[in-house]
Amino acid sequence: MDQKTADYLPSTTIESIASTYGPSLFFRRWAATIIDTLILAGFIGMMALGEKMGDDYLAIAFLLWIAIIISYYLLLEGFTGYTLGKFFLRIQAVNEEGRVPGFVKSLIRTVLRLVDTNPLLMGGLPAGISVLATRKKQRLGDMAAKTFVVKVRDLNINSKGKTTILAVAFSILAIVSVSSGVYGISSIIRDSQMSETYLSEDEQFQITVPSSWSSDSELHEDADISISNRYEEKYFVVLSESKQAFDEGTTLEEYETIVEDNFVAEMKSREFIVAPHNILVNGNSAIQFSFPITVDDIPTTYLVTVVETSSHFHQLVAWTLEEEYSGLEAELEEVAASFQEAVVMEV
């Protein structure tokens, strides 16, 4: 075979090669896609690093992750024919002549990947069906770009030097991805075990919550403590009122009735999930109840804990989506149970 012949294969040959494959090519492509998905998922660990450095860096980390995904398929596959998964499974994307797809064809393949190979959209089912059903074992992106995925051994145009370079490059890529993923997972585990304490504005009271919560001043303009985890739809505020604002001798039960009546006015009924009942919050007398309510056409569930301390009455108000409440109830109760007078650190 002369040099010119070795550089490429006729399109009829590539098509005929692709047409000879049975289901084995589908399984290779499927396994390669899983590997690629895991590799790209590993890079999401950069988010954890960006979050540690601040919101600006988190945005940069997110954009960098998107750039990695685009480069991985658009540039890497476009100019080598490989992704790490394909290289490991010894299959390669090629054009009609058996050469690497190039930028334009790779762009078409990458855009169509959002439809037929997206794990978040039908789990990549369209690509799998297409590869199994078509004679040339092409997914939608292949058909649109006029590319094929063939077994490397059938090309007979591979250079050992090029293969070695790609093996080293892909090994480095895999190591970086795994390292990023390990860091991300360890950060999630570490953060889930950490907690943070928030003080009221007058620094007299405090609550302790998992580190996934953060200060959120937009929840209630009169709140003494206002926190949330908006990603998980968890919200919590503390409203404190001095006993001096009430008639002398006002009891916790009487204050709870005032609070309950205010919420009932919004509820339009006294339909409780858990009726008011007495509990203790760090040694302080308290009354707790929960109820459903629709806020801005969104079914929501509230958990309200009314607490009495020596000088104040407090409303500890937690809420989340109605559909999420059963899974978050224990955490919201723990947040309310952490309420106490501020611990003064001696210097």
- Which ranges of 240-321 would DSSP assign to H, the alpha helix? 252-267
| The one-letter amino acid at 244 | Q
* Token pair of 213 as six digits: 């919560």
Contact present, 236 and 228 (Cβ < 8 Å): yes
Contact present, 252 and 260 (Cβ < 8 Å): no
Backbone angles phi, psi at 235, to 5 degrees: -135, 145
Reported residue count of the chain is 347
Model confidence at 170, pLDDT cuts 50, 70, 90, reads: confident
* pLDDT at 344 > cutoff 80: no
Contact present, 260 and 289 (Cβ < 8 Å): yes
| Measured distance CA(152)–CA(7) in Å, rounded | 14
DSSP state for residue 256 in the 8-state scheme: H
Residues 97-125 have pLDDT tens digits of: 889 999 999 999 999 988 888 877 777 88
Contact present, 177 and 42 (Cβ < 8 Å): yes
Helices 125-133/102-116 angle, 10° precision: 110
| The one-letter amino acid at 119 | P
Which of residues 59 and 131 earns the better pLDDT score?
A: 131
The b/e string for 92-125 (b: 16+ C-beta within 10 A; e otherwise) is: bbbbbebbbbeeebbbbbbebbeebbeeeeeebe
CA neighbor of 292 nearest in space, from 268, 258, 262 = 268
Instruction: Pick the range with the lowest mean pLDDT from 10-14, 37-41, 170-174, 311-315.
Output: 10-14
* Token pair of 257 as six digits: 């009735």
| Measured distance CA(306)–CA(288) in Å, rounded | 6
| Measured distance CA(68)–CA(82) in Å, rounded | 15
Q: Which residues contact 120 (CB under 8 A, 6 or more apart)?
A: none
| Measured distance CA(97)–CA(11) in Å, rounded | 5
CATH number of 195-341: 3.40.1000.10
**pLDDT for the residue 347:** 40
Residues 291-314 have pLDDT tens digits of: 998 888 899 999 999 999 999 999
| Measured distance CA(237)–CA(295) in Å, rounded | 17
Backbone angles phi, psi at 300, to 5 degrees: -130, 150
Which of residues 212 and 50 earns the better pLDDT score?
A: 212
Contact present, 149 and 25 (Cβ < 8 Å): yes
| Measured distance CA(127)–CA(339) in Å, rounded | 53
Which of residues 55 and 72 earns the better pLDDT score?
A: 72
| Measured distance CA(7)–CA(97) in Å, rounded | 9
Q: Which residues contact 192 (CB under 8 A, 6 or more apart)?
A: 210, 211, 212
Domain locations along the chain? 3-191, 195-341
